[in-house]
């Protein structure tokens, strides 16, 4: 559609792989000495995507590990406390802890 509307001398059909030369000639500009930047080249793309995957995968694993660890710790604590209460060991544990605290306090004073 555009090809039919634009005169040939004003139309540039150009691809990134063509580099600077056709673009600069069309724009009547000097050709730079540096290579044409190809940020989407496969090697660059792979490097960038690998870095992003590693970054976000590590972040995902970290958050999953922490949230799962917290949940497991809470579940373990609740389960242990419930079992100790059910077995009648919490009063015994409290008595033993109080005795230990008194003993340590007496030694420190």
* pTM, two decimal places: 0.36
| Side-chain half-sphere exposure of 21, counting CA atoms within 13 A | 2
Domain boundaries, the chain: 1-36, 39-109
pLDDT of residue 11: 86
Instruction: Enumerate residues 6+ apart whose C-beta is below 8 A from 38.
Output: 16, 44
DSSP H or E stretch at residue 6: none
pLDDT tens digits along 83-108: 877 777 777 777 888 888 899 888 88
pLDDT tens digits along 2-17: 788 888 888 888 888 8
């Amino acid at each position: 559609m555009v090809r039919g509307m634009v005169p040939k001398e004003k139309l540039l059909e150009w691809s990134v792989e063509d580099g600077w030369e056709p673009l600069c000639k069309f724009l009547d500009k000097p050709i730079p000495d540096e290579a044409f930047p190809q940020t989407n080249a496969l090697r660059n793309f792979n490097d960038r995507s690998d870095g992003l995957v590693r970054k976000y995968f590590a972040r995902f694993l970290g958050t999953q590990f922490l949230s799962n660890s917290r949940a497991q710790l809470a579940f373990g604590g609740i389960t242990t406390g419930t079992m100790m209460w059910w077995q009648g060991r919490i009063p015994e544990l409290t008595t033993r802890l109080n005795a230990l605290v008194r003993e340590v306090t007496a030694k420190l004073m």
